[in-house]
Chains A and B, each alone.
Chain A
């Protein structure tokens, strides 16, 4: 097996681009998780469920509007908003009562909600697989050295940086974002200067949920929307957040890049064991920098 010739083949560029489009989804979902982890200190196990609801909600919106590009774009906005609303109910209705308690309680609560939301999805949408298709506008694929790169993946490549910039602006340039960052570092102090920390937490959780929903909605046209789609994602997201540095947004971006690229290049180099590469990268990072690549907010 000649790894080098595999790596420096015509397929490399297309494989990198495909890997980057996967990175986009990973980043969007993980950034929501990282945000919640950084500010609220909750390892939100239910984050994957919110992502799943995002995908199902996108399906419903597109069904309701009868398909087409407009329905697709509407779904990309409405579905995350629905998930944000669910996040609001979760945070205000349940999580907010446990911030004073041990963190283990919060962790257990998010775990419970992962199970409850999974069942709720089954009640609302049923056990059947759902599928939405890429709107005609994005159908087909570009050719790079004779290898296909779907237009939808290219669209994701554009969306990714937009979200990153948007998040950066919200967190660094808005008052709310600045307070949230301060709350992440020292919540008690922020409370002491008269700011309602509860609402900052609610805002953060809602924004995090919105991102989970957006990730779910964006991936929906590429995958089979089904119960259980939350499971594999939640593990990947956790790993990304950990290798990036807990709660660090740029770290999350870096983690997503490592995860997405090692996988797609791993497949190119050694297809039988492609799945192992991102995890090997995680191990490598944790051995060298156990606290994550960039500084953790913890």
Chain B
């Protein structure tokens, strides 16, 4: 009997040791993001970019001798589900870090949880400026631009143009208003001559923009700021093409020049649309960018979109920070992340110590046909470096003090 008990105890002990050994051999990253519904076209790129970088790091022996692994949870674009999933990732999956989400409300909820649980959280697509702005904290990192940054970058370029009478139109929710007001308010401070002629707001998911377009044309503005997002981008551009709107009035959409907006439309997308994006696979035409694009195409048989860059950088930042920290320790990891720099396909990136926001450049361009690709690309690209359009550390401190 004693032998049996001893054997069982030994076996249990072996399992415990083996179990903890397995857990300790990896750095586990938990993704909570939208993996069903329309947003997948963006989120899959984040995950694929991350996987590509992580697999390369693992093939070279991993980080501190540990492999980077990842688990995913679908938040179905709902903040409550996202929060539950994030809790599950922390409690059941014992993840070392969290990555996600495309939904701003979810990102803010998970960010709050990350703060309480003291677990680093990398935000990879949601556009709320609150994430690293007024609601920012030690445990959250911003891996992409936000509405405030897009607004400032765009205003900077538009202020140099001759347009005076502006019209604002967009999705009637946080993102739409944040982008439109972000652009116009900053524009107004840079160029006091501009005036707002009127506004129109439609519901999120609006499919038919023709009645809005005829109404805007009747008012005869010089320039229109169109604040749609996601699938609405394509819908609006199609309506602009069929009504000839783009030929009558120049208009701007954040992400209008992005691949996800232009590639579904092929050669039929409207030309002359102003847009901004964090990433264009054909610009800058540098060795680093080309290598990234080639590698991504070889792995997934498609061109990388912005999300791919965010995921790719996130994995590399994680690896580099753990190397610098010297061990898997969250607090040391964060200390290492602050001010960390990284060579990326779009140049040298830095995670600012003051707000944990990555200093990506913003590209401003105009849609144009090209014989080189089956879809339109951005021409006359102006690159606005991160430091030129990001809120200053003093502004961040002021926003957080409120």
CB distance from B172 to the nearest CB of A (A): 6
- CB-CB contacts below 8 Å: B214-270 with A: 214-218, 231-235, 238-239, 242-245, 248, 260, 264-266, 268
Complex Cα distance, B215 from A118, in Å, reads 34
Q: Are A223 and B40 in contact (CB under 8 A)?
A: no
Q: Which of A32-40, A195-203, A228-236, A281-289 contacts B (4 or more CB under 8 A)?
A: A228-236
Q: Are B242 and A18 in contact (CB under 8 A)?
A: no
Q: Are B202 and A21 in contact (CB under 8 A)?
A: no
Residues of B contacting A268 with CB < 8 Å? 211, 215, 218
- What per-residue 1/0 map shows which CB atoms of A218-233 lie under 8 Å from chain B? 0101111111110111
Q: Does chain B have a CB within 8 A of A22?
A: yes
- CB-CB contacts below 8 Å: A13-44 with B: 14-15, 18-19, 21-22, 25
Residues of B contacting A221 with CB < 8 Å? 238
Residues of B contacting A231 with CB < 8 Å? 205
Residues of B contacting A225 with CB < 8 Å? 264
Q: Are B37 and A133 in contact (CB under 8 A)?
A: no
A140-B244, A232-B205, A271-B201 given; A131·B265 CB < 8 A:
yes
B36 CB contact (under 8 Å) in A25, A119, A141: A119
Q: Interface residues of B, CB < 8 Å — how many?
A: 44
- What per-residue 1/0 map shows which CB atoms of A87-120 lie under 8 Å from chain B? 0000000000000000000000000000000110
Q: Which of A145-153, A168-176, A184-192, A249-257 contacts B (4 or more CB under 8 A)?
A: A145-153
- CB-CB contacts below 8 Å: B330-349 with A: none
Q: Are A226 and B38 in contact (CB under 8 A)?
A: yes
Classify the secondary structure of B's interface with A: helix
- What per-residue 1/0 map shows which CB atoms of B195-223 lie under 8 Å from chain A? 00011111101111011111111100000
Q: Are B40 and A9 in contact (CB under 8 A)?
A: no
CB distance from A141 to the nearest CB of B (A): 6
Q: Does chain B have a CB within 8 A of A264?
A: yes
Complex Cα distance, B238 from A141, in Å, reads 13
CB distance from A229 to the nearest CB of B (A): 7
CB distance from B37 to the nearest CB of A (A): 5
Complex Cα distance, B334 from A167, in Å, reads 66
Q: Does chain A have a CB within 8 A of B44?
A: yes
A271 CB contact (under 8 Å) in B200, B233, B265: B200
Residues of B contacting A267 with CB < 8 Å? 200, 211-212, 215
Cross-chain pair count, CB within 8 angstroms = 146
Q: Does chain A have a CB within 8 A of B41?
A: yes
Among residues of A, the one whose C-beta sits closest to the C-beta of B218 is A11
Among residues of A, the one whose C-beta sits closest to the C-beta of B172 is A275
Among residues of A, the one whose C-beta sits closest to the C-beta of B267 is A133
B202 CB contact (under 8 Å) in A10, A131, A228, A274: A274
B199 CB contact (under 8 Å) in A21, A148, A226, A271: A271
Q: Which of A122-130, A157-165, A237-245 contacts B (4 or more CB under 8 A)?
A: A122-130
Complex Cα distance, B219 from A272, in Å, reads 14
Complex Cα distance, B237 from A115, in Å, reads 29
Complex Cα distance, B198 from A218, in Å, reads 32
Residue with the greatest number of chain A CB neighbours at <10 A, chosen from B38, B41, B198, B202? B38
A272 CB contact (under 8 Å) in B199, B208, B213: B199
A222-B239, A224-B232, A228-B37 given; A150·B212 CB < 8 A:
no
Give 6 new A-B contacts, CB below 8 A, not counting A15-B215, A148-B217: A129-B231, A130-B264, A147-B218, A222-B239, A263-B211, A271-B169
Q: Which residues of A contact B (CB under 8 A)?
A: 9-11, 14-15, 18-19, 21-22, 25, 118-119, 122, 127-131, 133-134, 139-141, 147-150, 152-153, 219, 221-229, 231-233, 263-264, 267-268, 271-275
Q: Could you list 19 examples of A-B contacts with CB < 8 Å?
A: A15-B211, A22-B211, A122-B40, A127-B38, A127-B40, A129-B234, A131-B268, A133-B265, A133-B268, A148-B243, A150-B242, A222-B208, A224-B233, A229-B205, A232-B205, A232-B206, A233-B207, A274-B212, A275-B172
